[in-house]
Amino acid sequence: MTTKTGYYGSDAKTNRFIDPKTNEAYFTLVNKKTGEVELYNEEFGADKRVGTLGENGKWEYNKNWWGGANGNDRAFAEKIQKDGTLKKQASKIVKKQLVDEGKTVAEANKETKDLINQNEGIFTGDPKLTKLDDAASIVNGKAGKAAQGTREAGFGAFVFPSTLRHKTVDGSGQDFLKFDMMKYEPKKMTKNFSMSKRSTDIDKRSIGSVILPIPGGIQDGQAVTWGGQTMSPLDMALANVALTTVGEGPGAGVSKAGDLAKDISKNFGANKDALAAVIAGMASGGQQLLTRTTGAIANPNMELLFGGPSLRTFSFQFLLAPRDKEEAMTVIQILRFFKQGMAPIRTKSRLFMKSPHTFKLSYRNSSGQPHKYLNKFKECALQSLGVDYAPNGQYSTYEDGVMTAYQMTMTYSELNPIYNDDYGKDTPLPQEIGF
Residue 427 counted as domain residue: no
How far is 81 from 88, CA to CA, in rounded Å? 10
Bigger pLDDT: 149 vs 386: 386
**Are 218 and 238 members of one domain?**
no
Q: Which of 301, 319, 334 is the last residue of a domain?
A: 301
Provide the pLDDT for residue 266: 58
Q: Mean pLDDT lowest for which of 204-208, 377-381, 402-406, 424-428?
A: 424-428
Under a CB-based contact definition with an 8 Å cutoff, are residues 434 and 422 in contact?
Answer: yes
Categorize the per-residue pLDDT at 415 as very low, low, confident or very high, splitting at 50, 70 and 90: very high
Residue 74 counted as domain residue: yes
The answer to whether the Cα torsion of 229, 233, 239, 240 is positive or negative is: positive
Bigger pLDDT: 194 vs 107: 107
Provide the pLDDT for residue 126: 46
Q: Mean pLDDT lowest for which of 187-191, 297-301, 319-323, 392-396?
A: 187-191
What beta strand segments (E) does 45-161 contain?
Answer: 48-53, 59-61, 157-159
**Are 168 and 275 members of one domain?**
no
pLDDT of 267 over the 60 cut: no
Q: Which residue range(s) make up the domain with 207?
A: 157-223+311-422
0.75 exceeded by pTM: no
Residue 358 counted as domain residue: yes
Mean pLDDT to the nearest integer, 27-37: 88
**Are 38 and 85 members of one domain?**
yes
Under a CB-based contact definition with an 8 Å cutoff, are residues 68 and 54 in contact?
Answer: no
**Are 243 and 320 members of one domain?**
no
How far is 133 from 365, CA to CA, in rounded Å? 43
**Are 14 and 103 members of one domain?**
yes
Bigger pLDDT: 424 vs 138: 424
What beta strand segments (E) does 109-260 contain?
Answer: 157-159, 176-182, 206-213, 224-229
Provide the pLDDT for residue 308: 93
Provide the pLDDT for residue 127: 47
* CA distances (Å), origin 86, targets 7, 79, 101, 190, 408: 16, 9, 23, 30, 51
**Are 99 and 124 members of one domain?**
yes
**Are 323 and 390 members of one domain?**
yes
Q: Which of 266, 301, 336 is the last residue of a domain?
A: 301
**Are 280 and 169 members of one domain?**
no
Q: Which range is most confident: 246-250, 333-337, 367-371?
A: 333-337
Categorize the per-residue pLDDT at 232 as very low, low, confident or very high, splitting at 50, 70 and 90: confident
Residue 429 counted as domain residue: no
* CA distances (Å), origin 136, targets 143, 166, 393: 10, 46, 49
Nearest one of 209, 197, 229, 190 to 338, comparing CA atoms: 209
pLDDT of 311 over the 60 cut: yes
Query: Which residues lie below 8 Å from residue 299, measured CB to CB, with a gap of 6+?
Result: 232, 233
**Are 95 and 244 members of one domain?**
no
Mean pLDDT rounded to a whole number for the chain: 82
Provide the pLDDT for residue 11: 85
**Are 32 and 179 members of one domain?**
no
pLDDT of 179 over the 60 cut: yes
Nearest one of 41, 43, 37 to 7, comparing CA atoms: 37
How far is 118 from 141, CA to CA, in rounded Å? 6
pLDDT of 284 over the 60 cut: no
Residue 152 counted as domain residue: no
A 10 A CB-CB count for 376 gives 18
Residue 150 counted as domain residue: no
* CA distances (Å), origin 222, targets 225, 232, 311, 329: 11, 33, 8, 37
**Are 133 and 67 members of one domain?**
yes
Under a CB-based contact definition with an 8 Å cutoff, are residues 54 and 47 in contact?
Answer: no
Provide the pLDDT for residue 388: 97
Provide the pLDDT for residue 250: 67
Q: What is the pLDDT of residues 373-383, one digit of tens each?
A: 999 999 999 99
pLDDT of 387 over the 80 cut: yes
Buried b or exposed e, range 64-102, using 16+ CB within 10 angstroms: eeeeebeeebbebbbebbeebebbebbbbbbbbbbeeee
Bigger pLDDT: 182 vs 247: 182
Q: Which of 120, 143, 166 is the last residue of a domain?
A: 143
**Are 208 and 109 members of one domain?**
no
Structurally, how many domains does the chain consist of?
A: 3
Q: Mean pLDDT lowest for which of 30-44, 187-201, 355-369, 381-395?
A: 187-201
Bigger pLDDT: 185 vs 397: 397
Residue 151 counted as domain residue: no
Mean pLDDT to the nearest integer, 394-398: 94
